[in-house]
Amino acid sequence: MAGVFLATLYEYSPLFYISVVSLCFVVTAAMVLGWFGFDVPVILRSYDEQEPSLPAAEKQMVQVTNPFALELGSGSASVTDGVLVRPCCLESCVLSCFWGCEVSTLQGVLHAHQHGMMLSTHQHFQEALNLHYYYCQKFHISSEDRAERHAQIPADQGITDFGPLPRQRYPLVAVLTLEEAQERHVNDIVASVIVIHVPDDKYKLSARILFQYLLTSQGSMYELKPLFMSADSGGMSGSADSGHTFTPSDTQSEDQIPVMEEEDWSEGTEGRDCVVCQNAAVNRVLLPCRHACMCDSCVSFFQHCPICRAFVQESFALTQSNDCQ
């Protein structure tokens, strides 16, 4: 049928016949390519850098107040002489110091908290750790109390070190819990777990906070991490010793990258200039590198952190600006 039609067509006009056959071939080829998933327009599309890039995702935030803070006190620290810790709490709370707490037990307890076992009081922690520690001390801290507390294992326990590396026990786990277990909202922070390294004869690394976790009444756990501020933030970062200082390595970059010595920057009130536009206050923390160096408007133009060149996965605001709902 089609053959007869084509033969008639060829007799009528060879040129028209050739064009019809060619057209059929092109249409068939296009259909076959489409059928097998060759997306011709995609292949032809160019991926040059002129294409507008998607801005990094903005993280949705919930504002919560952390009533707990703890820093290491002045003076030397060791397992035999003890360590000074300075709690600073917004409410009356209890500081529990668990010396030589087993790593696996603590991790198990924190895991259990996230799966329904409530940890909000000193007793909860003591029962959950179930004597998988050497010694426990308990301090009552009132809300205005900023005094240093001396945590120490009594000499009669006979503990002078926690053995060779790698260790099965954390030297000191400080737990801050609220004194009064009253009704709490789901996002309220009910406990803070601070893992502290204390030097001993076997491992002389100076005393420092290794990890800080916050536990909410809902059963979530958050790890507190320092922010890297480009300047003094007026206490917003919450970690005084985390401020990085940056110095330009050569003279060319001096125009783009300001010298971010903390002392120089903290003097003026306009010390939080965005490193990009130099015109607005720094208000964005980039994740995962945690550099706070850009204002709200500049952050949308960057896929890489201007300080460390890390890819920006998301960002969050330090303070709520007017255009945020």
CB of 235 to Zn ion, least distance (A): 21
Closest C-alpha among 281, 279, 304 to residue 293: 281
Kindly state whether residue 64 participates in binding Zn ion, applying the rule CB under 5 A. no
> 320 and 294 in contact (C-beta within 8 Å)?
no
290 residue type, one letter: R
Kindly state whether residue 289 participates in binding Zn ion, applying the rule CB under 5 A. yes
Residue from 101, 298, 312, 318 binding Zn ion (CB under 5 A): 298
CB of 137 to Zn ion, least distance (A): 40
Residue 216 or 283: the one with the smaller Cβ distance to Zn ion is 283
Which tokens is 196 given?
């502290």
Helix 103-113 × helix 122-129 angle, to 10°: 130
Q: CA 297 → CA 63, 190, 199, 233, distances in Å?
A: 22, 36, 46, 19
Residue from 77, 175, 305, 312 binding Zn ion (CB under 5 A): 305
Residue 159 or 280: the one with the smaller Cβ distance to Zn ion is 280
- How many residues in the shown chain lie near Zn ion by CB under 5 A? 12
Q: Rounded CA gap, 285 and 227, in Å?
A: 8
Segment near Zn ion (CB under 5 A); pick from 128-136, 173-181, 187-195, 289-297: 289-297
Kindly state whether residue 291 participates in binding Zn ion, applying the rule CB under 5 A. yes
- Helix H segments across the chain? 2-12, 14-35, 40-44, 103-113, 122-129, 262-267
Residue 151 or 276: the one with the smaller Cβ distance to Zn ion is 276
Segment near Zn ion (CB under 5 A); pick from 70-78, 134-142, 253-261, 267-275: 267-275
Kindly state whether residue 84 participates in binding Zn ion, applying the rule CB under 5 A. no
Residue 20 or 310: the one with the smaller Cβ distance to Zn ion is 310
106 residue type, one letter: L
Closest C-alpha among 274, 173, 198, 272 to residue 231: 272
80 residue type, one letter: T
Closest C-alpha among 97, 86, 148, 144 to residue 122: 97
CB of 67 to Zn ion, least distance (A): 30
Segment near Zn ion (CB under 5 A); pick from 150-158, 160-168, 232-240, 287-295: 287-295
CB of 171 to Zn ion, least distance (A): 32
Pairing of strands 221-223, 208-216: antiparallel
Kindly state whether residue 308 participates in binding Zn ion, applying the rule CB under 5 A. yes
Residue 236 or 310: the one with the smaller Cβ distance to Zn ion is 310
HSE, side-chain direction, 13 A CA sphere, residue 188? 15
Residue 34 or 268: the one with the smaller Cβ distance to Zn ion is 268
Residue 153 or 274: the one with the smaller Cβ distance to Zn ion is 274
On the question of a cis peptide bond just before residue 166, with omega within 30 degrees of 0, the verdict is: yes
Kindly state whether residue 307 participates in binding Zn ion, applying the rule CB under 5 A. yes
CB of 317 to Zn ion, least distance (A): 13
Q: List residues near Zn ion by CB under 5 A.
A: 274, 276-277, 280, 289, 291, 295, 298, 305, 307-308, 310
